[in-house]
């Protein structure tokens, strides 16, 4: 709210707005890098993804390693059907990843700021589709890693919220009656 008021007051003077924002952030104890906090976990996982990709492409002993169900090779995509127009193959893991990421973003807390809520709503659809598209033809081991990480994040959010409700820090969501 303070930043919004500051933006309204100094919208015609961007240089002074920048200085006032920096001063306010310093007074409130905020780091200028705190806005990057949402991207940091993804950036930290990038070296792991590159290493995993290199291992899956180079390790001969992992080729043909059966994971279970329909995944017969962690070093290749998890195709269950071929000859599909535009996609060429049907890969269930990236499609499942899109669904799980949509669920995770749907369960995320909604921001109070309408502009941030609109941005979150837009990102709710862009990010899962973008990740699904990027991982569609990657080795199934990488997609399985990302899917497992996302499922663990959902469980972690649920567990933390449950603990906060028990301690009385936050209220439990009110169930909707039919």
Each residue's pLDDT tens digit, 6-50: 888 887 887 888 888 888 877 877 665 655 556 677 778 888 888
- Tokens 């070093």: give the residue: 75
- Contact status, residue 128 vs residue 97, Cβ threshold 8 Å: yes
pLDDT confidence of residue 148: 92
pLDDT: which is higher, 25 or 176? 25
What torsion do the CA atoms of 113, 119, 124, 128 make, to the nearest 10 degrees? Answer: -140
Each residue's pLDDT tens digit, 40-86: 777 788 888 888 888 888 877 777 777 777 888 887 888 788 777 77
- Tokens 């007051």: give the residue: 9
Residues in CB range of 140: below 8 A, 6 or more apart: 67, 71, 73, 74, 76, 77, 78, 91, 93
pLDDT: which is higher, 39 or 94? 94
pLDDT confidence of residue 37: 59
Q: How far is residue 14's CA from residue 176's CA, in Å, rounded to a whole number?
A: 45
pLDDT confidence of residue 175: 57
Question: Would you say residue 174 has pLDDT above 70?
Answer: no
pLDDT confidence of residue 113: 73
Each residue's pLDDT tens digit, 107-154: 887 777 777 788 888 888 888 888 888 888 888 888 888 899 999 999
Q: How far is residue 62's CA from residue 137's CA, in Å, rounded to a whole number?
A: 18
Task: Select from 71, 96, 111, 110 the least CA-distant residue to 150.
Answer: 96
């Amino acid at each position: 709210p303070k930043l919004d008021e500051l933006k309204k007051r100094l919208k015609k003077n961007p240089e002074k707005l920048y200085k006032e924002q920096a001063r306010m952030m310093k007074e409130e104890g905020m780091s200028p890098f705190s806005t990057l906090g949402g991207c940091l976990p993804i950036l930290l996982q990038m070296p792991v993804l590159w290493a995993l990709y290199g291992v899956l492409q180079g390790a001969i002993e992992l080729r043909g390693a059966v994971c279970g169900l329909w995944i017969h090779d962690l070093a290749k995509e998890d195709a269950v059907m071929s000859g599909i127009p535009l996609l060429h193959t049907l890969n269930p893991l990236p499609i499942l990843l899109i669904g799980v990421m949509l669920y995770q973003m749907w369960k995320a807390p909604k921001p109070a700021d309408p502009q941030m809520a609109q941005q979150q709503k837009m990102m709710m659809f862009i990010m899962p589709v973008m990740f699904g598209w990027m991982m569609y033809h990657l080795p199934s081991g990488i997609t399985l890693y990302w899917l497992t990480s996302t499922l663990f994040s959902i469980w972690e959010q649920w567990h933390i919220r449950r603990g906060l409700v028990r301690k009385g820090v936050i209220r439990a969501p009110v169930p909707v009656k039919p």
